[in-house]
Chain A
Amino acid sequence: MTSSRLVAPELTTIEVQGLTREAFLLRATLAAGATYGALSATPYITNALAQEGGGDVDILNFALTLEYLEAAFYTMAVKQVKGLSADEAKLAKKLRDDEDAHVDELTATIKKLGGKPAAKPKVAFAGAFASRAAFLKTSNALEDTGVSAYNGAAPSIKSVEVLAAAGSIVQIEARHAALIRLARGKSPAPLAFDKASMMDEVLKAVQPFIKA
C-alpha cells in the first residue's frame, strides 16, 4: 500500500535514472507542434523544438562561447565599473567566478566527449562599464540571454550527463539574472515561463559584444 500521507499515487514511484537521451528523444509520444494548455507556455516550446541538428559538442561549444563572453564581461567590470555598492561589487565578483567555473566545466566536458573546445572570443563591451546603470543593464541582458540560450538548446541535448551539466549551469544563470534584476529594481522573474531562444536569436543578441 502506498502511504496515506502522499497526495498523489503517482508520487509513490520514484524516478529511474535514464542513461542516454538518444533513445528517449526519438520516442516523444506527443506530436511535434503540440501545444500546451497555457497559451503563454507555447512560444518557448516551439522555439526549443525548432532547434535541431548539431550534436552535444556543438551545443556545448555554443554555451562555452556565451560563458566566455560573460566571464570576460565580469572580469572587466570588476576592474572598471565605478559606483557599485559593496554588495553589488561582491555580486560582480561572484558572477565572474561562477562564469569562469562554467567555462572550465564546459571546456572539460567538450574534451571528454572528444570535441574541440571553441576558442575564446575577442570581446568589446563599448560603454557597458561607464556607469553602474550601464553595467547592470548589460549584465541583465547577458544573464537573461544566457538562460534563454540554455533553455532553448537543452531539449536537443542527447546525453543525460550533458543535460545534467547544462541544467546545473542554467539554474545558476537564472539566479544571477534574478539578483541583477533586483539590483536594477526590476522584477526578478518577469515571466512565468522563461523564454527558450534559438541559437541564431542568441547570436544576434550577443553579436555587438563579439569582435569579428
Chain B
Amino acid sequence: MEHVCARTNYDPGDHVTDTALRELADDPSSRKRFFKMIGGAGAVSAFGVVLAACGDDDKDKASSSSDSTSAGSGDAKADNASDLKIVNYALTLEYLEAEFYKQVLESGMVKDKEIGELAKSIQENEQEHVDALTATAKKLGGTPAPKPKTKFEGVISKGPKTILETAADVENLGAAAYLGQAGNIKSKEVLAAALAIHTVEARHAAALNQLVGRGFKAKKGQGSIPDGPFAKPMDMAAVLKAVQPFIAS
C-alpha cells in the first residue's frame, strides 16, 4: 500500500481498470474536452501515466461474486465495483473513528464534562456513518468491509491531551479522505452520501483542532482551518498509511 498503484497481478490486457477512463482514452472528443478543461499539454502525459499505472485486479473477483451469470462487459458493474471499494474504504475509516471514541469514553480518561459530551456526540455521528456505509455497501451488492481490529490503547493511556490530539488528527484525515474520493465516485447517490459525511468530518476536525489549541494554522498544517481557503484531499494510500498505527494486524 506504499505504492499508489501497486498491483500483484496487474495485466493491462486482461484487467481493464476503469471502463470510463479507457473509453475516454479511445474517444478523441471526450479527450479534447478534458484537455480543454484542465488546459495544458502537461495533461497529456498525466493522462498517460494514470492509464499506465493503474489497473484493477479485483474487478473479476468482484463481478463474479455478485453476478456469476452475466457475461457482459458491464460498465455499470465496473462502476459498482469501484464505488464499493470506496464505500468499504470509508467504512473502515468510520469503524476506526467510532471504535476510538467508544474506547475513549469507556476508559474514563476524559473527565471534562463538555469534552465528554462532544466525544459522545461525535461517537454517535461516526456510528451512524458506519451504519449508513454498511447499508450502502450492501445496496451496491457487495460485502461490507469487516470491522478492523484496532489498537488505541497506547494513545488512550496517555490521557486527554493525546486523546484529543489524536481525535483531531483522525478527523482531519477523514475529511481529507472523503475529499480525495469525491471525484472517483461514479454513482450520484453514493457521492451525495459521501459529501454529506465529508462536511461532518470537517466539522469534527475543526472543533477538535480548536479544542486542542490549534489555531488556523498549526503544526503539520493541521489547524482548525488547516489549508487556508481550500481544503486539500488525500489519496487512499496516504490515508491508509496514516491510520496504520491504529490497526492491529
Contact = CB atoms under 8 A, between A and B. Distances in A.
A3 B92 CA distance: 16
A37 B229 contact: no
Interface stretch (A11-19, A77-85, A130-138): A11-19
B191 A154 contact: yes
Given A167-B179, A169-B229, A14 B235 contact: yes
A176 B121 CA distance: 19
A10 B85 contact: yes
A185 B135 CA distance: 34
Interface in A173-200: 173-179, 181-182, 187-189, 191-196
A19 B24 contact: yes
B192 A168 contact: no
A191 B200 contact: yes
A192 B247 contact: no
A16 B207 contact: no
In this complex, the interface size class of chain B, counting residues with CB under 8 Å from chain A, is 35 or more
A191 B129 CA distance: 11
B109 interface: no
In this complex, the interface size class of chain A, counting residues with CB under 8 Å from chain B, is 35 or more
A66 to B, nearest CB: 14
Given A189-B200, A192-B124, A192-B128, A16 B1 contact: no
A49 B54 CA distance: 31
Contacts of B105: none
A98 B229 contact: yes
Contact of B17 (A16, A147, A155): A16
Contacts of A211: none
B207 A178 contact: yes
Interface in A71-90: none
Interface string A1-13: 1111111111111
A24 B118 CA distance: 38
Contacts of A36: 132, 135-136, 139, 189, 193
A188 B201 CA distance: 10
Contacts of B236: 11, 14-15
Nearest to A104: B229
A50 to B, nearest CB: 11
Contacts of A192: 124-125, 128-129, 132, 197, 200
A101 B229 contact: yes
B89 interface: yes
Given A14-B237, A28-B187, A174 B76 contact: no
Contacts of A150: 195
B149 to A, nearest CB: 8
A6 B80 CA distance: 22
A164 interface: yes
A94 B17 CA distance: 43
A45 B187 CA distance: 12
Contacts of A60: none
Given A15-B181, A18-B183, A189-B200, A151 B195 contact: yes
B102 interface: no
B182 A167 contact: yes
A187 B195 CA distance: 20
B103 interface: no
A189 B122 contact: yes
A19 B29 CA distance: 13
B145 A10 contact: yes
Given A11-B89, A16-B21, A101-B230, A175 B132 contact: no
A24 B195 contact: no
The 10 closest A-B pairs by CB, nearest first: A37-B135, A101-B229, A171-B231, A174-B199, A192-B128, A188-B207, A175-B206, A48-B192, A8-B145, A7-B148
Interface of A: 1-25, 27-30, 32, 34, 36-38, 40-41, 44-45, 48-49, 94, 97-99, 101-102, 105, 112-113, 147, 150-151, 154-156, 159-161, 163-165, 167-179, 181-182, 187-189, 191-196
